[in-house]
Chains A and B, each alone.
Chain A
Amino acid sequence: MTPIIRFEHVSVNAHEKTILSDISFELFPGEKAVLCGKSGSGKSSILRTLLGLHALSRGMVYFRGKPLDYLSVQAIRSCTAYIGQEPVLGADSVREALLLPFQFKAHRGRQPAEAQLIEALQRLQLPADILKQASNHISVGEKQRIALARGLLLGKNLYLLDEVTSALDEASKQAVFEVFSDPGLTVLSVAHDPDWISRCNRVIKLEEGRLIQDVT
């Protein structure tokens, strides 16, 4: 089986500092992997590198067997949902935020119906009336789940999650775990939360930009 993601001896320098050094690993469809390590160990940099946001100084990243270039990075971005610690919703209201991607040419004409919006919200323990709220009046935990709901509405199957349960209560966390129990979804995450780590089938440990342990 072709790995969905392959890092081959990847090194990345940013601001005259090595942030990733000789990283190699593969991620297969359906895997739920978590990157662990201290702050500054390079966890988030791996996610950003995969999205083409850091230039490689050595090695190569492959997506579905193709090296990372202008075309493959578009392919990665079109099938990937990236949810950071404090996601940017990019619109004034929650409804506009959920519908934002459908204004872009890549998703135009696929705008979800009201019932689909509500269903996506409810899967993540969010009430339907949150649609009317202003984006800057909701909590970080709600923002994270709205960003996840946006990924679900777009039908994304690769999720890059950076501390996505950091601001969630127990019930919301369970809802997120439920969503990612779907074997069709591939997850590469960054987490310190023991609950999240225990639900991942693979733990990749990093230290000072180096991969030191990869346990399945």
Chain B
Amino acid sequence: MKTLDIALPQMALLYGLCVLPWLLLWLIGLRLSRDIAVSILRMSIQLMLVGIYLKMLFHLNNPWFNGLWILMMLLVADWSILQRAGLKARYFFLATFTAIASSILFTTAYLVILVIQPAHFYDARYLVPLAGMILGNCLQGNVIALERFYSALRKSENEYVTFLLLGASRWEAVRPYFRLAVKAAINPTIAGMATMGLVSLPGMMTGQILGGSEPWLAVKYQIAIMICIFTGTTAACIINLKLSLAIAFNPFDVLKEEIIDKH
């Protein structure tokens, strides 16, 4: 079964749909025209470029090109996580890269090599979209984990110091905030898994069904990707927060002010 193409006039019709949310937002007094226009334009250009690149990537199917693409995704994700979490990249770039790279590479390799088992592990058709999906979700989780953790610590500075003065080690003193941050980061994934199929049909499954796959096969892929997203996000958040602890405090366990990006 071949997926129906969307012709250019129909694509134009699709963009026309954006007028509805724009109008609703305008009516409630939210002037977001510029942000909406920039976001839609960026999404369209970025996806078109990815489309061109993926076409080339699938055609070449070269392990080095595929690896380079994943490396680029990791670097962009790293920068994006720190920017959105309000932390300075010059302090945390390496720690965040280590955390997301190790988690994403492990879960993607596990899924591709042990579960899906394509003829070549580096097959771009499997490796690139699966790594991208896991990384995309992992990015959200890491933003929440870092942002929640450091803002809670700053907000509860007196409590944190009290724990230290009552004999807690740095790890013991930050542990309550650490746990809450990890919980907040993985909660959306856990809630998503609990309601999946009931509340919504997940994107990847829908895509596969539209692409002509059997629903049962699409279901199996969706389960596989959700388990990998959950594993990758949990591992990346915990590793990232743990590594950041060695950077964010002075030798007297006081949170360094200079790590926070105030812009």
14 further A-B pairs in the complex, CB-CB below 8 A; given A88-B158, A154-B166:
A51-B161, A51-B165, A52-B253, A53-B252, A55-B250, A78-B167, A88-B162, A90-B162, A100-B166, A104-B172, A106-B167, A107-B167, A150-B166, A154-B167
Q: Tell me the complex Cα distance, A90–B177, Å.
A: 12
- Tell me, yes or no, whether A69 is within 8 Å of chain B by CB: yes
Chain B residues near A78 (CB, 8 Å)?
Answer: 167
A residues sitting closer than 8 Å to B (CB atoms) are 51-53, 55, 69-70, 73, 77-78, 80-82, 84, 87-90, 100-101, 103-107, 150, 154
Q: Which of B162, B168, B169, B250 contacts A87 (CB 8 A)?
A: B162
Q: Contacts A88-B158, A88-B162, A90-B159 hold; do A104 and B169 have CB atoms under 8 A apart?
A: yes
CB<8 Å pairs between A and B, sample of 5: A69-B251, A73-B252, A81-B165, A101-B168, A105-B172
Report how far A106 CA is from B158 CA in the complex, Å.
Answer: 20
Q: What residue in chain B is nearest A14 (Cβ atoms)?
A: B257
Query: Is B89 located at the chain interface by the 8 A CB criterion?
Result: no
B254 within 8 A of A: yes
- Establish whether residues A77 and B159, one from each chain, have CB atoms under 8 Å apart when the complex forms: no
* Given A88-B158, A88-B159, A90-B159: A101 and B166 interface contact (C-beta under 8 Å): yes
Q: Which residue of A lies closest to B158 (CB)?
A: A88
Which A residue's beta carbon lies closest to that of B251?
Answer: A70
Question: B residues within 8 A CB of A101?
Answer: 166-168
Residues of B within 8 A of A (CB): 158-159, 161-169, 172, 250-254
Given A70-B251, A73-B252, A88-B158, decide whether A104 and B165 contact each other with a Cβ distance below 8 A. no
Closest chain A residue to B252, Cβ basis: A52
Assembly CA distance A53 to B251 (angstroms): 10
Query: For B251, what are the chain A residues with a Cβ–Cβ distance below 8 Å?
Result: 69-70
Task: Say yes or no: B161 contacts A104, CB within 8 Å.
Answer: no
Question: Which residues of B have CB within 8 Å of A52?
Answer: 252-254
Residues in B with CB closer than 8 Å to A87 are 162
Interface pair B166/A80, CB less than 8 Å apart: no
Count chain A CB atoms within 10 A of each CB in B159, B165, B172, B251 and give the residue with the most. B165
Once A69-B251, A88-B159 are accepted as A-B contacts, the answer to whether A77 and B165 lie under 8 Å apart by CB is yes
- Minimum-distance CB pairs A-B, first 9: A52-B252, A106-B167, A101-B166, A70-B251, A88-B162, A104-B168, A88-B159, A104-B167, A88-B158
Shortest CB distance A75–B (Å): 11
Q: How far is the CB of A202 from chain B (nearest CB, A)?
A: 23
CB distance from A190 to the nearest CB of B (A): 16
Distance in Å: Cβ of A143 to nearest Cβ of chain B: 11
What distance in Å separates the Cβ of A95 from its nearest Cβ neighbour in chain B? 15
CB distance from A69 to the nearest CB of B (A): 7
A contact residues around B253 at 8 Å (CB): 52
Q: With the chains together, A107 CA to B167 CA distance in Å? A: 7
Quick one: given A52-B254, A70-B252, are A77 and B167 in contact (CB under 8 Å)?
A: yes
B172: chain A residues at CB < 8 Å are 103-105
CA distance A17 to B117 in the complex (A): 63
CB distance from B116 to the nearest CB of A (A): 44
User: Would you call B162 and A80 a contact (CB within 8 A)?
Assistant: no
CA distance A150 to B250 in the complex (A): 27
Question: Is B169 touching A106 in the complex (CB atoms < 8 A)?
Answer: yes
Nearest CB in chain B: distance from A144 CB, A: 13
Known: A69-B251, A73-B252. A53 touches B161 (CB 8 A): yes
Partner of B169, one of A80, A82, A100, A105: A105
The reply to whether B254 and A104 contact each other, CB–CB distance below 8 Å, is: no
Report the minimal beta-carbon distance from B174 to chain A, rounded to whole angstroms. Answer: 12
**What is the CB-to-nearest-CB distance from A185 to chain B, in angstroms, rounded to a whole number?**
17
Select one of B166, B169, B250, B252 contacting A90, CB under 8 A. Answer: B166
Minimum CB–CB distance for A102 against chain B, Å: 9
Q: Name which of B164, B166, B252 has the most chain A CB atoms within 10 A of its CB.
A: B166
A54: nearest chain-B partner, CB-CB: B254
Which A residues lie within 8 Å of B158 (CB)? Answer: 84, 88
User: How far is the CB of B237 from the nearest CB of chain A, in Å?
Assistant: 24
Tell me which residues across on chain B come within 8 A of A82, comparing CB atoms: 165
